[in-house]
Amino acid sequence: MSIGRKSGSTGVSGPRYVSVGEVVRPHGVRGELRVRILTEYPERLHVHTHFYLAHPDSAELVHRYTVERIRLHRGVLLLKLEGCDDRNAAEALRGMLVQIPLEDAVPLEEGEYYLFQLLGVEVETEHGERLGRVVEVLETGANDVYVVRGPRGEVLVPAISEVVRQLDLAAKRMIIHLMPGLLGDEE
């Protein structure tokens, strides 16, 4: 069972766009942007002629930009957008999400999913106890952690096969195995 894919994520349930980067800061004085890559497929970014930028807090307010230049440099994306011609214009885009339309994203394989698809999934134990809904996915490096809020408060569920026993995205349902200490008490 594949626990997940980190290729693009967004905090909005059912988005039209998938985030592939985040503007970190201007690069130089001619409007180029330094972008932190948020996709597992950075080599595919050069095929896009347009990106859609939105502030993380206002994902529904999307602005379309034509790509003038794009290149990978030391693990980051350097991006020049039409109309962003100086450092001040680039500075105004700091913190924006760089997105592509969902239909242009890399097709997922069986058992893979985008992180945003987990938001709102109902989580219950193998014994039928409802723990709540996934409200956030933390990317920790070793494995993702699902933040679940419900009757027991906030529960942190490690995204590992020993814990996540079933995931049905169509039904928005996850069944987990309670490992000792997962709920803060010794089980």
Percent of the chain with pLDDT over 90: 61
pLDDT of 38: 87
The pLDDT confidence band at residue 21, using thresholds 50, 70 and 90, is: very high
Where is pLDDT greater, at 15 or 96?
A: 96
Q: What angle do CA 116, 14, 75 make, to 5 degrees?
A: 40
CATH no. for 120-176: 2.30.30.240
> Amino acid identity of 120?
G
| pLDDT tens readout for residues 37-89 | 988 888 889 999 999 999 988 877 899 999 999 999 988 999 999 999 999 99
pLDDT of 11: 40
pLDDT of 16: 84
Q: Cα(52)–Cα(128) distance, rounded to whole angstroms?
A: 42
Instruction: Tell me the backbone φ, ψ of residue 56, rounded to 5 degrees.
Output: -55, -30
pTM score of the predicted model? 0.66
pLDDT of 185: 65
Superfamily of domain 17-104: RimM (2.40.30.60)
Domain boundaries defined on the chain: 17-104, 120-176
Check for a shared fold between 17-104 and 120-176: no
For residues 150-173, average pLDDT = 93
Strands, sheet with 153-158, edge to edge from the N-terminal-most edge strand: 153-158, 144-150, 130-139, 122-125, 173-176, 164-168
For residues 101-109, average pLDDT = 85
